[in-house]
Amino acid sequence: MIKPVGAITRGTTNPNRLRRVDNFIAYRCGALLKEAAQPLVIDLGYGATPVTAVELRGRLAAAVRPDVVVAGLEIDPVRVSDAQPFADPPWLLFRRGGFELAGMAPVVVRAFNVLRQYPEEEVAAAWRAMTATGALLVEGTCDELGRIATWTVVEGGVPSTLTLSARLPVLSHPAIFAERLPKALIHHNVPGHPVHELLRALGRAWDAEATPFGPRQRWLATARRMRADGWPLLDGPARWRLGELTLPWPARLWPV
């Protein structure tokens, strides 16, 4: 038996907490899953209850392909045992495992609110372990209800993009993203670092685009202003309307 790599985390979760990132996975990784001979997705560290793994399987089956397989992994054997009544073999499985992925070879790994509980110096090794078999990793964090979230896409142990995502009707100001940055960035939100400059620029654009037409129109105007100011926003209005902004990972050349 492969020894799990990692540590037991708090495991707190809520229904619908990961809806925003699940929809992103369907969009960003849909083609990979459709082309895969074995469309396996791992939900790493699903927590004290398996609700988010159940939801991920349902969303991907509906939006991508009905035979997608989701495997929820937890280091805590009690959580794995407690999740078994929710399993639906062969489409939804629960096993004991950590960053080594229990020896499985997924197409996509979702690891949310996991590395936030680890020291920053352990993040890079965890990224490399979770992508060692060629999987695309979506790793990030969110608030307790999933209203504010950030995540990175990691390929071959290297982060490629950063996504900021918000439920727009309750977004008071983009500064709130600072509280939910991925572990690799949260301690670098200081003057002179690209992520700090990004959040400052986003806040300035938001402040400049006050509108009587509501938060969605304000967010769209903010995104357009950011792009006009030279920030390399990926995707476009269709994703912006969902409350998303995706950019190259901050180590890339940004206008700072």
What is the sign of the dihedral through the CA atoms of 126, 128, 132 and 134?
positive
Q: Would the pLDDT of 136 be above 90?
A: yes
Fold of 19-166: Rossmann fold (3.40.50)
Instruction: Using the predicted structure, report yes or no on whether residue 254 has a pLDDT greater than 60.
Output: no
Answer whether 60's CB lies under 8 Å from 53's CB. no
pLDDT for 149 beyond 90: yes
Angle among Cα 127, 80, 143 to the nearest 5 degrees reads 55
Q: Would the pLDDT of 9 be above 80? A: no
Pairing of strands 108-112, 40-44: parallel
Q: Read off the tokens for 5.
A: 């790599």
Instruction: Check residue 135 and give its pLDDT.
Output: 97
Residue of 247, 137, 128 lying closest to 198 (CA atoms): 247
Over residues 33-64, the pLDDT tens digits come to 999 999 999 999 999 999 999 999 999 999 99
- CA 68 distance to own-chain centroid: 19
pLDDT of residue 252: 54
Span(s) in the chain for CATH 3.40.50.150: 19-166
Task: Using alpha carbons, select from 54, 101, 59 the residue that is nearest to residue 82.
Answer: 54
Query: What does the pLDDT read at residue 12?
Result: 76
Q: Measured in whole angstroms, how far is the alpha carbon of residue 155 from the centre of its chain? A: 13
- The answer to whether 53 and 87 are in contact (CB under 8 A) is no
Please say whether the beta carbons of 154 and 114 come within 8 A. no
pLDDT-derived band at 8, boundaries 50, 70, 90: confident
- Round to whole Å and give the CA distance between 45 and 8: 9
Residues 115, 125: contact at Cβ < 8 Å?
Answer: no
Which tokens belong to 201? 């620029």
Q: Give the pLDDT mean for 118-144.
A: 96
Q: Is 64 helix (H, G, I), strand (E, B) or coil?
A: coil
Percent of the chain with pLDDT over 90: 88
How far apart are alpha carbons 145 and 165 in whole angstroms?
13
Exposure on the CB side of residue 180, measured as CA atoms within 13 A:
25
Buried b (16+ CB within 10 A) or exposed e, 115-148: bbebeeeebeebbebbbeeebbbbbbbbbeebbb
Residue keyed to tokens 């054997």: 77
